[in-house]
Amino acid sequence: MPNNIKVVIAGPRGRMGREAVKMVTDHDGMQLVSVIDYKNVGQSLDQVEGFGYLPESISIYNDLDICFNETSPDVLIDLTTPETGYRHTKTALLNNVRPVVGTTGFTSSQLDELTNLAEERNIGVIIAPNFAIGAVLMMKFSQMAAKYFEDVEIIEMHHDQKLDAPSGTAIKTAQMIRENRTSKKQGHPAEEETLEGARGADLDGIKIHSVRLPGLIAHQQVLFGSGGQLLTIRHDSNDRASFMSGVSICVETVMNLNTLVYGLENILD
Ligand SMILES: NC(=O)C1=CN([C@@H]2O[C@H](COP(=O)(O)OP(=O)(O)OC[C@H]3O[C@@H](n4cnc5c(N)ncnc54)[C@H](O)[C@@H]3O)[C@@H](O)[C@H]2O)C=CC1
Ligand SMILES: O=C(O)C1=N[C@H](C(=O)O)C[C@H](O)C1
C-alpha cells in the first residue's frame, strides 16, 4: 500500500506519542505530515531530542487550524491530556479531519457532544480508551462473565504520571459489564467507610479501585466472586508498543466511518 493516509499526531513527545510517531513513520500505508505540540513550534520534529531517526522534516504546529490548512491531514491521532484532547477532537471535526483519540478522561457529556458533532459533520471519529487487543479481550471476557457472576470489582494499576482516575479502560469495562448485569449494591448492606474512599469509586454499583505507582505501566484485573469461587481476568501492558496495532487499525478504519465509535471492540471482527 502506498503512503496514502496522511496523519498528524498531537502529543508527539509523550510516552504514547513517541510510539505513535514510530508506528506511523514505519507504516507503508501512512504518512506523518505534521505534529501538534506547544514546544518547538515552527521547528522540525527531527531536530527534537529522540527523533533524530526521522528520515525527513516534519513541521511542528501549535495552531490546529493553520496545521490542517497547511498540511491537509486525513487523520488526527490525539495522545495528549483530557482538556487538550477534547479541544483537538472538536477542532478536527470542524475541519473535516478524522480523529483517532487515545486520550482518556473525557466526561460523558463531552462524549455526547462529540457524538452529535460527528453526526452533524457526517465524519468518522474513533475514541478508544484502550488500543491493546489483549485489553479489549479482557473487557469482552469480563462482559461475558458478568452474565454468570453479579458481584464484580475492578482494580486498575497504572504508572504514577497518569492524570485521570479511574482509567478510561476501567470505566469502559464497567460500562460493558453493566450491559450484562442486573444493577446491585455489593458488599454488606450496612457497610460503612471508616476512611473515605476505602471502597473505591462506584459505577452503577461496580467498584473501581485505582492504584498509581512508579514501576507500573498499564494493568487491570477484574474480579468476579460467587459462593466458593473467584474468577480473575487480568491484562498487562508491559510496553507501550502493545497499543500500536490498535492505533493502526483505528487509523485505517476511521477513513470509512461517518459516526463516532467509542471503543476498539466495536470495530474488531
Ligand atoms: N487509548 C490507549 O490505549 C492509551 C491511552 N493513553 C492515554 O493517552 C494520553 C497520553 O498518555 P501518555 O503518552 O502516557 O502521556 P504523556 O504525559 O507522556 O504525554 C502527553 C503529551 O501531550 C502533550 N500535550 C499536552 N498539552 C498539549 C497541547 N496543548 N498541545 C500539544 N501537546 C500537548 C504533552 O506535552 C505530552 O508530551 C493519556 O490520556 C492516557 O490516558 C495512554 C496509553 C494507552
Ligand atoms: O495513561 C495510561 O498509561 C493509559 N491510559 C489508558 C486508560 O486510561 O485506560 C489506557 C491504558 O490503560 C494506559
pLDDT in tens, 32-52: 999 999 999 999 999 999 999
Say whether pLDDT at 2 is over 70: no
Q: 122 and 18 share a domain?
A: yes
Q: 57 and 92 share a domain?
A: yes
Say whether pLDDT at 1 is over 70: no
Does ligand 2 come within 6 angstroms of the Cβ of 142? Answer: no
The two beta strands, 30-36 and 75-78, are unpaired
Q: What is the dihedral of CA 178, 182, 187, 188, to 10 degrees?
A: 150
Q: Is the pTM of this model over 0.90?
A: yes
Q: 207 and 119 share a domain?
A: no
Over residues 217-237, the mean pLDDT reads 98
pLDDT band at residue 16 using 50, 70 and 90 as cut-offs:
very high
Q: 41 and 101 share a domain?
A: yes
Question: Ligand 1: which of 81, 235, 239 to mutate, most ligand atoms within 8 Å of CB?
Answer: 81
For 235, residues 6+ apart whose C-beta sits below 8 A from its C-beta are 132, 134, 135, 137, 138, 219, 220, 221
Q: 139 and 228 share a domain?
A: yes
Does ligand 1 come within 6 angstroms of the Cβ of 244? Answer: no
Locus of grid cell 488526527: 76
Binding-site residues for NAD(+): 11-16, 46, 102-104, 128-131
What residues make up the domain containing 195?
A: 133-237
Q: 153 and 255 share a domain?
A: no
For the record, the C-alpha cell of 192 comes out as 460503612
Q: 115 and 179 share a domain?
A: no
CA angle 92, 12, 157 (to 5 degrees): 100
Q: 148 and 249 share a domain?
A: no
Q: 230 and 258 share a domain?
A: no
